[in-house]
A and B are shown apart, each in its own frame.
Chain A
Amino acid sequence: MSERIVELEVLRFNPETDAEPRFQRYSVPCMNEWVVLDALNHVKEAIDPTLSYRWSCHMAVCGSCGMMINGEPKLACKAFLRAYDGVIRVEPLANFPIQRDLVTVIDDFITKLKRVKPYLVPKSDQPVEAGEFRQTPAELKRYKQYTLCINCMLCYAACPEYALVPKFIGPAAISLAHRYNEDSRDGGREERQQEIASGEGVWECSFVGACSEVCPEHVDPAGALQQVKIRSTVDWYQEHLMPWSKK
């Protein structure tokens, strides 16, 4: 059945037994249409049951299987073997501590996500019984793209600023804050601005745009961050030059 032997070079690290990470080579018989995750699953099932990594949906929506594949942040379930020649090097997502093998510690992202209040702070307190908040397709379109973030953290692995300044809130969390800011039903922007317009927020971003390039869902976090910058600048001018205009 197999059509090709793929050589995987996988980072291994077990904090209980290893002083530092090492690479392990596996020769994997693969079908042509397989993704890197399929190859890893074959390793786990038939070659080495001790390999650890996260995965679930195999359809690029659960966000579990982000890894560095030949140095690029990718979802292993969407990294097609046909796109690679030679040895494929598989490492845990960059910029996060390694817990074991390809599993990273993501506490930092989880904490930042909570800080930006990624939930609706309703503009009006209309009860549920009164029916839905009206929202036109055009209003939905303003923020829809930013709802598509699957929290896979590829953008953090790609971001040169996050690598240098770990306190940077980062692309995904800021994009989610922006998603709620742009929602016509929301009135929570000022609360979120305290986090995302701060020194640890958008002003850390140097607009390299790597986040948008690697985003598997085409969320365009770089675009979101630039919009937040513009909105924050307008806020500053309104506050300092036109204090009477403050909402």
Chain B
Amino acid sequence: MRPELKIALVSKVYPMRSHTCAAEGGAAGVIKSDDSMDHHFHDTVGGGDWLSDQDAVDFFIREAPKELLQLEHWGCPWSREPNGSVAVRPFGGMKKQRTWFAADKSGFHILHTLFQTSLKFPSIQRFDEYYVTDLVVDDGRCCGFTAIEMRSGQIKFFRANAVIIASGGAGRMFPFTTNGAIKTGDGMALAYRAGVPLKDMEFVQYHPTGLPNTGTLLTEACRGEGGILVNKNGRRFLQDYGMGPETPVGQPVLKTMELGPRDRVSQAFWHEQKKGNMVPTRWGDCMMLDLRHLGEKKIDERLPLVRDMATSYLGVDPVTDPVPVRPVVHYMMGGIDTDIRAATSLAGLYAAGECACVSINGANRLGSNSLTELLVFGRRAAISAIEYLDGGTAVANETAVTAGADAAQARLRELFNRSGGGETIAGLRKEMMATMEEHAGIYRSGEGLEQACSTLAGLRRRYASIELHDKTNVYNTDLLQALELGAMLDCAEAVTVSALARRESRGAHQRLDFTARDDTTYLRHSLASYRNAGPPAIGYSDVVITRSPPGVRDYSGEQK
């Protein structure tokens, strides 16, 4: 505890609105006696198709239970065993039960526990509904940032010697996503434009079970609790895609069939769709998530939100009918390039959570690792920032810093006052989303990605001519959406350019023209570096392999 530190918590929304609240299933951490750190390590590394940095994974799994216990001590209402200990549930790709949960609102409770606990600390000063527009950099150090105060429209400069970004993902680049409206890659774009590479951006996770109309997530815990996925013939088709043999209905077996990893399940959907085995609905082809055998009591106790969502948004009650679902964009494995200390290549800048890429998730994140990740690396980022501050920051050239802030402000003013540009935010956004959906989805091809790269380059050029409709100051969401679109376009281009360069298939990145994993060339992280004009430059860095050489991902259970 360092009460003398001055901490500004700056967010574009009130903190309890942050999208962590939508996470349902839970947070992974080894706690039960039949589990081990080794199991969690191997599940995570294999789940990530060996693109995870193994030293980071080791650090992550060791810290995981401590952070989850810390949350318990802060009051998080974890679900419990009859004896009062914390309960855990099965999750996809995990060999043991190790997912801590609070019914099916785990992220909500984690977020509110953190937010409410933060109210205890007078050294944390909040700036709610401030949109950060630019990092201010001088002499290779991050010296703060500029932000728009939404209620006044004023631009404020925050002079800070250390900055931690924890701004989440960018799912809104796609039209069909579980991500809330606020997930527009703002933090990723901030770091990217300040010269920090975006790492492994081509790895975009589809969650297999979204409601087909709204994209609302139905948690993987549906399957953890025993739900099954069937095609239009009633067949549990996952057995045909390397995740069999079939397990008894309602008795889920860990790490196989419906508890396979998300990338494999979503890819199986794609193949079944091509074969015409899916159920056509007015919102596109669906598979059916059948929970009926769990019974009303268990569904209400363990999956109340799922029942509520399916019933209200789709008109299907999972107690009486199977729910049509389809894969939906859910999570960015890639993000701001950070090291095991949550530090970026820019001195004084740190990042944690979905916006960052350490990487522990590699080419495919396992469900319930991300809530834990934001806790573990959130703390690590804070510790690193404090160490950096304690080390004595170099004296910055305050004139240059102020000039940087002024330049950021001038860019905004130019956007604000621009007229006659003719491009609209909604128009460009629609084109971006359509391109991402068509070419950067579950399966990709070189040809499609080339087209996507060229479309996005064009959209970025046209973005320079967008014109605001709303030129007033108070709570100007037209301006906000313009800035969010700029961030998404930059992130989207990093995704497609990185994906085009990775001529192999690994985890969530599947190429129709390069169907095999290629460890010789691509057992490496991609690094997209921002260039003002033109697409990012793509480089690579080594994956840290300590004790698990690349192997075969096996989701056939223990039954071979």
Contact = CB atoms under 8 A, between A and B. Distances in A.
B540 interface: no
Given A17-B472, A58-B216, A147-B109, A122 B73 contact: yes
B215 to A, nearest CB: 8
Nearest to B12: A56
Interface in B305-331: 305, 308-309, 312-315
Interface in B75-93: 75, 77-86
A136 B82 contact: yes
A56 B82 contact: no
A143 B77 contact: yes
B70 A128 contact: yes
A58 to B, nearest CB: 6
Interface residues of A, number: 63
Interface in B6-29: 13-14, 16-19, 21-22
A191 to B, nearest CB: 11
B474 A15 contact: yes
B80 A135 contact: yes
A242 interface: no
Contacts of B108: 61, 150
A17 B472 CA distance: 8
| Interface SS of chain A | loop
Contacts of B553: none
Given A136-B82, A183-B75, A119 B19 contact: no
Contact of B77 (A14, A56, A140, A150): A140
A62 B19 contact: yes
B22 A140 contact: no
Contact of A55 (B119, B181, B213): B181
A238 interface: no
Contacts, number: 152
B83 A52 contact: no
B73 A133 contact: yes
B448 interface: no
B17 A62 contact: yes
Contacts of A53: 477
A49 B105 contact: no
Interface in B161-210: 180-182
Interface stretch (A110-118, A154-162, A203-211, A229-237): A110-118
Interface in A121-143: 122, 126, 128-129, 131-137, 139-140, 143
A192 interface: no
A119 B120 contact: yes
A16 B471 CA distance: 11
A59 to B, nearest CB: 5
A80 B312 contact: yes
Given A50-B478, A134-B85, A128 B66 contact: yes
Contacts of B308: 60
A80 B311 CA distance: 12
Contacts of B81: 137
B69 interface: yes
A58 B181 contact: yes
Contacts of A118: 116, 119
B293 interface: no
Given A56-B182, A118-B116, A147-B109, A78 B312 contact: yes
A16 B120 contact: no
Nearest to A61: B21
A49 B470 contact: yes
Contact of B13 (A46, A56, A186): A56
Interface of B: 13-14, 16-19, 21-22, 66, 69-70, 72-75, 77-86, 105, 108-109, 112, 116-117, 119-120, 128, 151, 180-182, 213-214, 216-217, 305, 308-309, 312-315, 424-426, 469-470, 472-478, 481
The 4 closest A-B pairs by CB, nearest first: A120-B75, A134-B84, A56-B180, A49-B469
25 contacts: A14-B474, A33-B315, A49-B426, A49-B481, A50-B470, A57-B22, A58-B216, A59-B214, A60-B308, A63-B17, A105-B151, A114-B119, A119-B75, A119-B116, A119-B117, A120-B75, A128-B69, A132-B78, A137-B81, A140-B79, A140-B80, A151-B14, A183-B75, A183-B77, A185-B75
Given A49-B481, A55-B181, 5 more contacts: A54-B17, A59-B216, A117-B119, A132-B78, A136-B83
